[in-house]
Structure 1
Amino acid sequence: MDADELLKRYCAGERNFTQISLHLVNLSEVCLAGINLNRANLANATLSQTNLRGANLIEANLTAAALWRTDFSGANLILANLKAANLIRATLSQVDLHKGSLVKADLRLADLHGADLSGANLAGADLRYTNLSGANLAGANLSGANLTGANLSNADLSHTSLAKAILYKTDLSNVDFTEVDLTEVDLHHCLFNGVTLTERSLIEVV
């Protein structure tokens, strides 16, 4: 299926496009709110500035997709593959990315406040100046991620790996640091307000 056919069917009221193949398709700057793309193949697709609010993207393949300024507010992205995707300035507030793959994804200036990223793999991701306030990152892998200037205030980082991550001017106010791996992490330039580190985490920092 190509972009024109999908848009025609969507405009006619169809929403179910489960397991559809849209590899390399260009669907930028269109409204696809509420669409069902469960297990769809969108690898290398262009969906920049597209409205995907409330979309079902469970187990969708968005590897290396262009998602600049895309609006995913309230979307379901459980187990979705967003490896190496361009999500600069994307809106992902309140999304469910439980166990999603965001390895080496570019999330600079993205809005992920209140998102469920529990168990997600964000290894090597670029999260500079990303809003992760109130996000659930329990059990997530953030090893090697760049969190310069990111806002993680009130986030749940319990059982998260931050090994070798870059944290510079990162807001860690009221963060849950229970059993966090902070191996080779420098927290000296981070912002704190009421944060309590566990004994184990303190040992890792030292």
Structure 2
Amino acid sequence: MEIWKAGCMDANELLKRYCAGERNFTQVSLHLVNLSEVCLAGINLNQSNLANATLSQTNLRGANLIEANLTAATLWRTDLSGSNLILANLKAANLIRATLRKVDLHKASLMKADLRLADLHDADLSNANLAGADLRYANLNGVNLAGANLSGANLTGTKLSNTDLSHASLTKAILCKTDLIDVDFTEVDLTGVDLHYCLFNGVTLPERSLIEAG
């Protein structure tokens, strides 16, 4: 199978090659491209440049987006289920209502990304940078957030039950009506966080975090 590598490509060329059976588009430049409402399931866009690209309602299930640049990309209602986004750059990306179930976002950058109402059930966000991200009413049930940076993130109404938050930073994060049932708070930094309106069920917070949060 031919691998398209280190070149610029427009939407029509990529779709033509994809429909012909090609899946490997390593390091391709798709800056500002519009690929909305198309099927690109299983595509390999490893280390590709998709900054400011429009991928709304696109099927990217099982895609390889390792180290891809998706800065400020529009991924509204995009299906990324089971995709690999390790070390991907999603700073300021629009992921409203995106489906990210079982996605691997280990060490990915999601600073100031808009993840409102996104479905991240069982995703791996360990050591990811979510500083300033908007996660209002997102589904993070069963997510691995160990070591993640959630400083200043908005988690209003977010579902975080059965989530691993061990060693994560939630400094000055907004938690209102947040579901924290059966969450692992081992060594979590909750400095400046108001937990009075969160949902708990048998969770014991670290004494240090309780003092700092108060």
Scaled to the shorter chain, the TM-score interval is over 0.9
| Number of the residue aligned with 2:61 | 53
Cross-structure match for 1:33: 41
Q: Deviations over 1:58-109 (max 9, x none)?
A: 0000000000000000000000000000000000010000000000000000
Percent identical = 86
What's the TM-score, normalizing by structure 2? 0.95
- In 2, the alpha carbon distance for the partners of 1:129 and 1:195 equals 21
Alignment correspondent of 1:93: 101
Tell me the residue number matched to 1:81. 89
- Structure 2 gaps of 5+ residues are 1-8
1:119-173, Cα deviation, whole Å (9 max, x unpaired): 0000000000000000000000000000000000000000000000000000000
Alignment of 1:187-198 (within 5 A): 187-198=195-206
Structure 1 residue 186: Cα displacement? 0.2
Aligned residues: 206
Q: Does 1:172 align with 2:147?
A: no
RMSD (Å) for aligned C-alpha atoms: 0.5
Residues 18-75 of structure 1: CA deviation (Å, up to 9, x unaligned): 0000000000000000000000000000000000000000000000000000000000
Paired residue for 1:136, among 129, 136, 144?
144
CA distance in 2 between counterparts of 1:168 and 1:75 reads 30
Residue 203 of structure 1 deviates from its aligned partner by 2.0
Given the alignment, which residue of 126, 132, 135 partners 1:124? 132
Q: Distance in 1 between matches of 2:160 and 2:19?
A: 39
1:177 touches 1:201 (CA, 8 Å); kept in 2?
A: no
Distance in 2, Cα, partners of 1:108 & 1:194? 27
Q: 1:175 offset after TM fit, Å?
A: 0.3
Q: Residue 44 of structure 1: which of 27, 41, 52 is its match? A: 52
Identify unmatched segments of 5+ residues in structure 1.
none
